[in-house]
Amino acid sequence: MDFLRAGVRRHTFARIQCRQLHLLQNKAYVEGKWISAGSGNVFKVENPADDSLIAKVPDMGAADAKKAIDAAAEAFKSWKNTTPKERSNILRCWYEIVEANSKDLAAIVTAESGKPLSESYGELAYGNSFLDWFADCARHVKGEMILSPWPNKQIMVTRQPVGVVSVITPWNFPFAMITRKVGALLAAGCTCVVKPSEDTPLTALAAIQLAEQAGVPKGVINVITSSRKNVAEVGKVLCEDPHVRLISFTGSTVVGKVLSAHAAKGVKRVGLELGGNAPFIVFPSADIGRALDHAMLAKFRNNGQACVGANRFLIHEDVYDQFVNGFKEHIQKKCKLGPGTHEGVTCGPLINLEQAKKVSSFVEDAVNKGARTLVGGRFATDLGNKFFESTLIDNVKPGMKVYHDEVFGPVASVIKVKSEEEALEIANSTKHGLAAYVFTKDLGQAFRMSRDLEFGMVAINDGILSTAEAPFGGIKESGIGREGSMHGVEEYTEIKYTLMSGLEK
C-alpha cells in the first residue's frame, strides 16, 4: 500500500500518522473479500492539494464488474428474506461504527477530495445521518389492503426489494453519496455494486470496511474501482447486466443521459441526481444580513463543488447595491483558500486540473463579454495549480456561460432584477431544476415562489436544505426519483398486487 511520503510538502497528510489512516485500503471489495483487478492493473489516487500519492487502487474492467454483480445477485437470494428488524440493526451498527471512526474517515476525505477538515467532518455527520435515518425506515416499509369491488375477494398490496442495484457516486461528497444510496437500498432489502469516482475511491473503501465490521453479509455490498480509461466499459456492464434492476447515479447530466440509454435496453429503473443551476433570489423585504450569511453557505460550501450550490444570484434592484457590497465584504473576510489540513482554511483546491480549467474558462468567458470581476477571478498559483480564488462577478448578461450553465466552482454571478416576474423568468430559464433559494419576509411571495419555481427543492430564507428526513431530488434535466426521506427507501422497492379470491369458505 502506498502511503504519503514523509518528504512531501508540509501541508500534506504526512503529519497525520497511520493512526488516522488505518482505514486506507488499496483493494476492491467483492463477495466479502478484498481483491485486486483481474488484470492486476492499478491507478493512482492523488491529493489534489499537491498531487502527492495517497494510494494505488485496482483498475478494474468489465469482467471485474460482472463478478461483483454476480456476487450481489447471489447475496440477494438470502438478504431479501432478512427481516426489517435485522436490516435495521445492521444499519444502526454501521452508524455507530462510523461515529467512532469519524476522525479517521475525515482524514481520508480531506486527503483525496481536498476539502477542509472542518467540511469533511460536516460531510461525515451529514452522511451518517442517513444511516441513522434508514435504520429507522427499514422497519416502516408498508403495504396496504384495498377495499375490493367484488364480494369474497381481497386486494393486497406489498412492497418488495427491487433486487441488485448499481450505485455510481461522484467525488464531491464521497461519503454522503454512498450512505444516502446504500443505506436506503439496504433498508429495502436490496444488494448492490458501488462504483465510486476515480478521484475519490478511498472514502468508499473505508466506509465499506466499517460496513463489514457492522455485520453486512458478504456480497450484499460490493465496491469496484476503475480509472477514467475503464469507466465507460464498467458503466455499460453496471447498466446492462440482466441481474441489475436499478441504476442509482449522482453526477453530470451528460453522463446521466448515457447511463439512462444503457438502462433503457433492459427496461431498467433509474434513480438520477444530476446537475443543478440553482438561483439565489433576494427580494426587498428580505433580511439582508441573513441573506448574506446564507449566500456564503449556499455558494462556497465545498468550494462551490455542490450540485445544490447557488449559481446565479438574482438580486432585486432595490437592495442590489447593499447585497453586492455586503457579499464582496463577506467573501474577502471569510473565504480563506489553502490546503484542507491547514487551520482556518475554508476553501480547498478544486478536485482536478480539468475542473480547475473549466471554472477558469467560465470567468474568462464572462469577462471577455463585458462582466466585471469584483473579487477573485484568478488562480492562486502560490498554493498550487488547482486553487482558484473565491470569485464574485457582476454585469452578467444572457450571452455568457455563467448565465445559463452550472459552474461547479467558487464563482458567484450577480444579476439585477426589477420584479418578482423577472426573477422567476430568469430562474426558470434553464434545463436544470434541482434547488432554488429565496429570501423574502413576504409570506404570500414565499408561497408563490415555492409554487412557481421549476425546481424539485426550494429553500425559503435558508442556504442549506439537505437533510436525511426530506426528499432530495430535481425535475427537468436535474434527475429522476428522490433520495432521503421514506421516499428514498421506496425508490428501491417494487409494488406487488395480490388478489386473494375464493374466500367464501
Torsion sign over Cα 249, 255, 256, 260: negative
Beta strands in 215-274 (DSSP E): 221-223, 244-250, 269-273
Helix (H, G, I), strand (E, B) or coil at 461: coil
- Dist. CA 56–CA 45, nearest whole Å: 6
Q: Find, among 394, 393, 366, 390, the residue nearest to 378 by Cα.
A: 390
Return all residues near 35 (Cβ < 8 A) that are at least 6 apart: 27, 28, 29, 58
Q: Which amino acid is at 125?
A: A
* Residue found by looking up cell 467512532 in the block: 100
Q: Which helix (H) or strand (E) holds 121?
A: helix 117-137
- Mark whether 477 is an active-site residue: no
Helix (H, G, I), strand (E, B) or coil at 377: coil
Q: Find, among 223, 3, 182, 16, the residue nearest to 110 by Cα.
A: 16
Strands 435-439 and 278-282: parallel
Among candidate residues 273, 406, 477, 483, the one labeled active-site is 273
173, 302 in Cβ contact below 8 A?
yes
- Mark whether 198 is an active-site residue: no
Task: State the burial class of residue 226 (Cβ atoms within 10 Å of its Cβ: 0-12, 13-18, 19+).
Answer: buried
Among candidate residues 93, 137, 192, 307, the one labeled active-site is 307
Q: Find, among 410, 412, 413, the residue nearest to 386 by Cα.
A: 410
- CB-based burial, 298-310: b 16+ in 10 Å, e otherwise: bbbbbbbbbbbbb
* Residue found by looking up cell 471554472 in the block: 359
Give 316's Cβ-side CA count (13 Å radius): 18
Three cell numbers written together for 245 = 434492476
As annotated, the active-site residues are: 273, 307
